[in-house]
Amino acid sequence: DAKTTQPTSMDCAEGRAANLPCNHSTISGNEYVYWYRQIHSQGPQYIIHGLKNNETNEMASLIITEDRKSSTLILPHATLRDTAVYYCIVRAPYNQGGKLIFGQGTELSVKP
């Protein structure tokens, strides 16, 4: 399974953009990058995913570098409710079940 590296924690001011980096230097060509977050002890919540191109949805934007070795999740206007642990995951290929292997994630604190 391709591993990811994320900062342990980050702070962000409310209303500002939160930029969460992730390194995945061993990613293979057909592996997707997924982002989830977990608020307190709730079930992990899907945010966004991508393969090669940048992606945007109602929650966030995902910027993937051209060599695919790193990505950045952008929360454009962070609110206090965005305080959570954010996980960057390279999803296992289909022949390995397509499972998600979680690392330690980044604990994002959004402050007033």
Q: Which residues bind another protein (CB under 8 A)?
A: 30-32, 34, 36, 38, 41-46, 49, 51, 87, 91-94, 96-104
- Contact in structure between 83 and 93 (CB atoms under 8 Å): no
Closest separation between CB of residue 72 and another protein, Å? Answer: 19
State CA 77 to chain mean position distance. 16
Nearer to another protein, 53 or 66 (CB): 53
Q: Map residue 6 onto helix, strand or coil.
A: coil
Q: How large is the greatest C-alpha to C-alpha distance in the chain, in angstroms?
A: 45
Nearer to another protein, 57 or 79 (CB): 57
